[in-house]
A and B are shown apart, each in its own frame.
Chain A
Amino acid sequence: MSDLVYHALSVRQTRWNASVDALRAPCYALCLTMAGFSTIARESGLDFWMTLSTSLGIWGMPGQVAFASLYSAGASLFVIFVAVSLANMRMLLMVISVADMMHLDSHNLSLWKRVFWMHFLAITAWANVAAAQQKYPPHLLFAYYQGFALTIFAFGILGTILGYFLSDLIRPEILRIVIFVTPIYIMLMIINARQKANRLAVIFGGALSPVFFPFAGEWAILLSGVVGGSIASLYSHYIAKWHLETAE
């Protein structure tokens, strides 16, 4: 149910509110997360401009981390393309679902403008727009998304820039704690998924990948994703029958 107070807001006020929501906490975590990525990228041998371009152009942590580690291993370009595609495959679903939430079609944007705005979509923005549905009417959600996503994008890029030079400023004992923030932050966010099937998939995917990794290498990601996701899907559909429960 959307709150009546929020119904009366203008597009501009909604964008502002969304930026304030981002400034409450998510943007700092993103800043640290991207600083963590930047340090990994630097250790993988990527120069500053490549690291910055990776954040600007990919804007999806798992794919960025996969790229950095494959780069350091000297993987072939085809493997880089496939691995990053697989690691960021969720973008497809996140874009479809967020476009549906925001009634993106009703904003009459050209294809390229839609692609441009969806570039700023990552897990944090997606999860926050989903939460904002409880307060804001659908016609304001796109404005909310713009305010929120651009704010965390700015902080993420700032984190990328600062993080690249952080290893010179911070002792390794502290730095490894900063780097630890990245995987834990995302893991905690995805294990908190609303759908039970997705939470189960997180458990299966996470449990399988360290098992597959010693003999499958980078392909462990694809293997764990397909096997773990399929088991979670089959279990939830045919055994638990969660889809028959009340929606959400």
Chain B
Amino acid sequence: MELTADIYGWVGVGCAILGTMIWRFAGVLLAARIPADSPLMGWVNTMAYAMVSAVLMIILAHPIGVLATTTIEQRLVGLAVGLVVVFFTKRLMLALLCGVCSFALAVTFF
């Protein structure tokens, strides 16, 4: 049983690595051939951004592990503060600091 779980884990790691490697490999092959500013490229790019954002929002809205001990309101406060600061200052690290500190305050005091 333990061995089976181990095999499942390692083959899973291999599948995950392969699932990322194919894009990097394809990117290297296509780099010289595709004009980066074509409409098709723009579409694929927006899908990639939307997908990353989708993953992050699932982590925030339906977290697993220790993050699930916080409320959705607390997590949204942290996100909102970070977004507001990055929107007005364009400074990523400052926004990250403000967002995380707001979240820390929210989970500590509310």
- Measured CB to CB, the residues of A under 8 A from B are 25, 29, 39-40, 43-44, 46-47, 50, 53-54, 57-60, 62-67, 69-72, 74, 77-78, 80-97, 99-100, 104-105, 111, 114-115, 118-119, 121, 167, 172-173, 175-177, 179-193, 195, 197-210, 213, 220-222, 224-230, 232-233, 236-237, 243, 247
Contact = CB atoms under 8 A, between A and B. Distances in A.
A193 B49 contact: yes
Contact of B47 (A59, A181, A195, A201): A201
Nearest to B26: A92
Interface of B: 8-13, 15-32, 34, 36-37, 39, 41-62, 64-67, 69-70, 75, 78-79, 82-83, 86, 90, 92-93, 95-96, 99-100, 103-104, 107-108
User: Among the interface residues B46, B57, B75, which one has the most CB atoms of the partner chain A within 10 A?
Assistant: B46
Contact of B46 (A58, A71, A111, A229): A229
Given A94-B27, A187-B79, A180 B67 contact: yes
A224 B49 CA distance: 10
A110 B92 CA distance: 36
Given A188-B86, A224-B51, A206 B57 contact: yes
